[in-house]
Amino acid sequence: MSLSVRPARPSEMRHLAAVEDSGAAPFRDWFGAAAVPALLAPAVSGASRDAVPGELLVAADPAYAGTGPLGFVHLLWLDADDGSVTAHLEQLSVLLPDHGRQGIGTALVEAACEEARWAGHSSLTLCTYRDVPWNGPFYRRLGFVEDLDPPAHLERIRVAERALGLDRCGVREVLRRDLDRSSRSGSAHKLPTSEPGHRQGARPVP
C-alpha cells in the first residue's frame, strides 16, 4: 500500500460522508438493538465539516484514486474558556469493510497529532467509548490517556453527547495525548494491522 495522508482537496469533500457512514455497521453489530440513532444516522457532509475551524486530512492511495479517500480525520480548533484555542479530534473514519485493519486509522491519528503540534498545540483531545475495541483501547495504544478533569469546553461536548443518547450504549470518556513540541521533524509511520475503521459518534459537528 502506497498510502499518503494530506489535507483534503475540495473535490474530495463529497466522499467523506460515505466513508463515515461505512463505519456504522460495526457499531450496529457491537451494540445490537441498544445502538442509539445518533450512532447510525447519516453523516454530515464534507462541506459542513470544512466550514468549521480546523483541518481535514485524508488518507489516499494512488491505486484507489477513482474511489476517493480511504479514510479521513477531522481536527477542530476549539475555543477554551480561558481564551486559548485547543486541538480536538472530532472524527476518525476509514472506508469499511475493504480498508479496515490496514493501519490507515493509525496513520491518520499520527498525522493529526503532527498537524496539531505544528499548529502550536501541546495536546490533542477526543471523546470516545472506553470499552469498544476500536475506540478507547485503540487510542490508548497510540498514547492517549483519560482526562479525569476535562476543561469546561470539553465537558460541554460531553453534555451534548449525553443529550444524543450516546452514553446509553456504554461508558464514554475524554482522552488526551500530550504532543512533544521539542522537535518538529516529521517521521514516516509504519502501518500496523490491528485496527478496523473508526466512528466516534460525536455528531453533529460543533
Q: Count CA atoms closer than 13 A to 205's CA, side-chain side.
A: 28
Helix (H, G, I), strand (E, B) or coil at 92: strand
| Residue ranges in 55-205 assigned as alpha helix (H) | 104-118, 136-141, 152-164
Residue 75, domain member (yes or no): yes
Domain interval for residue 94: 4-178
Q: What is the model's pLDDT at position 200?
A: 54
Q: Total domain count for the chain? A: 1
Least confidently predicted of 58-72, 118-132, 149-163? 58-72
Count of all residues that appear for the chain in the document:
206
CATH code: domain of residue 124: 3.40.630.30
pLDDT tens readout for residues 66-85: 778 999 999 999 999 999 99
- Per-residue confidence at 101, pLDDT binned at 50, 70, 90? confident
Residue 191, domain member (yes or no): no
pLDDT tens readout for residues 42-51: 999 999 999 9
- Per-residue confidence at 35, pLDDT binned at 50, 70, 90? very high
- For residue 159 the three cell numbers come to 453534555
Q: What is the model's pLDDT at position 20?
A: 97
Average pLDDT score over residue span 133-152? 97
Cα distances (angstroms) measured from residue 6 to each of 40, 105, 111, 129, 184: 27, 14, 8, 27, 17
Instruction: Specify whether the CB–CB gap between 150 and 174 falls below 8 A.
Output: yes
Task: Give yes or no for residue 197 having a pLDDT over 80.
Answer: no
